Structure 1
Amino acid sequence: MEDIPRDRLTGPLRRGAVKKHVAAIHVSGKLTLLQRKLSNVLLLNAYDTITSQSRHQIDARTLCLMIGYNSNDMDTLKASLRGLAETVAEWDMLDEEGRQEWGVSSLLSYAKLKGGVCEYAYSPALAEKLHDPKVFALINLNIQRRFTSGHALALYENCYRFVRTGSTGWWSLDIFRRLMGVADSPYYETFKHLNAKIIKPAVAEVNKTSNIVVTPEVRKMGRSVTDIRFRINENPQLAILDLDDGEGLRNSPVYARLRALGVSDRLARQWMGQHGEDFVRAKMDYVAGQGGVTNPVGYLTRALQEDYGAGDAAPVSPRNPAPATATSPRARRLARVRELSQARTPTQRDADKRLFLTRLEGAQREDFERHGWMSALNADAIVAFWEDLSPGAFDEAE
């Protein structure tokens, strides 16, 4: 998810600012697990432009794939979108000047499916709240996909944004039941039932599945439980799942070589994620073997783009890494595939790869997992895949 502004979420929140800014957005009604996942995918897809654009789009097939729907099951997708449009989000917090602000909005102001594309929008007021990382923490899709319980995912969502403060703060049981989507059930008004059926199973799944560990604490009046909070710690065993921070890639020898070469942190992780470590390593070895390279980063950039060393691209002088004047049809097709992929949103790029992987087996699958869209064994299938997504996209490349 390279384009998501992850750096806004990693800075520690000062204690004095927590009370002022961190506040729950309460969601009325009971969202299913798939609806919660759908809501998060839509938000991640729209996040970069959520306050600057009034509507957002994503491929319906991509959307289905990212949340576990059958890509042809449009009826289920319609029902879930309808549920989000009918669900109310409510907030009650202090603004920047210390004034109380209450608001209410549907989760989606509208959604429509047309021509294989899902278009949707948020109300301006809710968009502003969702874009503020001090109010709403982005949920990593790689972690989200591991959840099997809607209550567990709801608990994770409501705890994760407090990870830097170490605690959610006290919630009344009424508020907590609303956050878990069980406020309308008389059965869960009894804490014994709430604890046995909701809290304990949700805590167990969050601690087993996600990158945080939560510990519930309760406050009583007499013998009755009135409030609950959750202590939050990072889960060292599963922290690597939070791929947005790049820690897993930063531990790679390939990453170390790229950084030593002068490649920026962001670009190094982008190349490794896009091309695969083996492909990047091979191109670094190729550049290192040329001798007399005065601009190694520039030359490596061209080597990755044009697949130097594959036998069909015409490498330019290592002293002057300008575009090659003559490239093969295959190199032009690869360059076009790269352009098409980079034009997609992070969510769509992830879905594209997963969708293509479902068509592969054996050596072809292994080669794609290693080299991504630059996989030589799958070159024809890759072109066919992108031609299907974007008819006519390779006319000029041919």
Structure 2
Amino acid sequence: MTYTPLQVCKSNALVEASYRLSVAEQRIILACISQIRRDQQITDEVLYSVSATEIAGLTGTRSKTTYEELAKAAQRLKRREVRLFEEPNGRGRKPRVMVTGWVQTIVYIEEEGRVELRFTKDMLPYLSELTEQFTRYALADVAKMTSAYAIRLYELLIQWRGTGERVIEVDWLRDALQLEGRYSNIRDLKRWVLEPAVAQVNEFSPLWVTWDQRKTGRRVTHIVFSFGEKPNSKPTLPKPSQRAERVAPKLSLPKAYVEQHKGADEGLVEADQRLLFEIRTGRREPPPGKSV
């Protein structure tokens, strides 16, 4: 029996939208998106389901750890918003910005360690019946990433698959990732956002990527990404019956300390990077989900 890898398919407008999701929230959303048939009409009544065991199998983590993350992420997803930017369609529609939620309903079944959700009606056109201007990739390409920034960067690069280069404006990237004033210094942005994200794309995905900066005057205004397919690149696809093995996040600080001080929107690796930044610079960055 041939194993068909799960595919994530999003409209390009959604790939380039402005939003912030934690790694656990991304995994829930992407796992449910991978269940949608791109060529099949759906309604906002369709219920999608994903379990901690299924996510653990994809990510190579323990079900117990995933179970705890899934429960917390499910509670937050209902409140998550996304800003979508729509260009003129040539038929009189002017540029506009739409703010909507990802899901209209989300249910966490504790005894099964399972999340069930319905996407909002406004979200459906960006996920189904896509015939042009969409991006598709294997869920396994990002499943083992522990940085939400890495997942977003991979999508932005794979959207331009085959070009080998993408130039991204720094201010646009800040808005797309909803950094909201965090890492306002370009050195901090590179060290705590770009470099970890590029490292994870190189380690876990089928792409290799390098980057450079472009200045306007003395100010760094653009990041230039060069990328391509790794030679003989084949993503590791866990079989449905494969038992998950523990892959511990690579933390620089004690895990207990990171867990105690991480924000509601952060994964362990992202919180570890932020806390390191605070310790080394003496400057406090508000963790996502909390205010200073």
Q: TM-score w.r.t. structure 2 length?
A: 0.66
What does residue 107 of structure 1 align with? 102
Offset at residue 178 of structure 1 (A): 3.3
Q: TM-score w.r.t. structure 1 length?
A: 0.50
Aligned equivalents of 2:240, 2:236: Cα separation in 1: 20
Matching residue within 122, 126, 129 for 1:125:
122
Matched-pair contact (CA < 8 Å) for 2:48–2:117: yes
Matching residue within 173, 176, 185 for 2:173:
176
Offset at residue 147 of structure 1 (A): 2.0
Q: Secondary structure at the match of 2:225?
A: strand
Aligned equivalents of 1:221, 1:3: Cα separation in 2: 43
Deviations 1:73-127, CA, capped at 9 Å, x for gaps? 6553232123222221111132654643432211222211347453211122222
Matched-pair contact (CA < 8 Å) for 1:27–1:181: yes
What does residue 202 of structure 1 align with? 197
Offset at residue 128 of structure 1 (A): 1.0
Would the alpha carbon gap of residues 189 and 91 (structure 1) be closer, same or farther in structure 2, given more than 3 Å must change?
same
Aligned equivalents of 1:59, 1:34: Cα separation in 2: 12
Aligned equivalents of 2:204, 2:65: Cα separation in 1: 29
Matching residue within 12, 15, 27 for 2:18:
27
Matched-pair contact (CA < 8 Å) for 2:7–2:139: no
Aligned equivalents of 1:203, 1:72: Cα separation in 2: 25
Aligned equivalents of 1:72, 1:209: Cα separation in 2: 20
Identical-residue share of aligned pairs (%): 18
Aligned equivalents of 2:229, 2:32: Cα separation in 1: 26
Q: Secondary structure at the match of 2:63?
A: coil
Matching residue within 31, 50, 67 for 1:41:
31
What does residue 248 of structure 2 align with? none
- The residue correspondences of 1:1-398 to structure 2 (distance < 5 A) are 2=4, 22-23=12-13, 24-29=15-20, 31-48=21-38, 51-54=41-44, 55-65=46-56, 66-67=58-59, 68=61, 70=63, 74-94=67-87, 96-97=89-90, 99=93, 100-114=95-109, 116=112, 117-131=114-128, 132=130, 134-168=132-166, 170-185=167-182, 188-237=183-232, 239-241=233-235, 352-355=240-243
Number of residue pairs matched by the alignment = 234
Matched-pair contact (CA < 8 Å) for 1:62–1:352: no
Aligned equivalents of 1:354, 1:207: Cα separation in 2: 25
Aligned equivalents of 1:205, 1:174: Cα separation in 2: 22
* Structure with higher RCO (Cα < 8 A, 6+ apart): 2
Deviations 1:35-73, CA, capped at 9 Å, x for gaps? 222221121123458741322232534444345462586
Matched-pair contact (CA < 8 Å) for 1:171–1:228: yes
Q: Which letter does structure 2 place at the counterpart of 1:87?
A: R
Matched-pair contact (CA < 8 Å) for 1:50–1:127: no
Matched-pair contact (CA < 8 Å) for 1:88–1:105: yes
Which consecutive unaligned segments of at least 5 residues does structure 1 have?
10-20, 244-349, 359-398
Report which of the two has the higher share of strand.
Answer: 2
Would the alpha carbon gap of residues 165 and 94 (structure 1) be closer, same or farther in structure 2, given more than 3 Å must change?
farther
Would the alpha carbon gap of residues 34 and 75 (structure 1) be closer, same or farther in structure 2, given more than 3 Å must change?
closer
Matched-pair contact (CA < 8 Å) for 1:64–1:77: no
Q: Secondary structure at the match of 2:77?
A: helix
Instruction: Work out which of the two has the higher radius of gyration on C-alpha atoms and give 1 or 2.
Output: 1
Aligned equivalents of 2:41, 2:76: Cα separation in 1: 23
Report which of the two has the higher share of helix.
Answer: 1
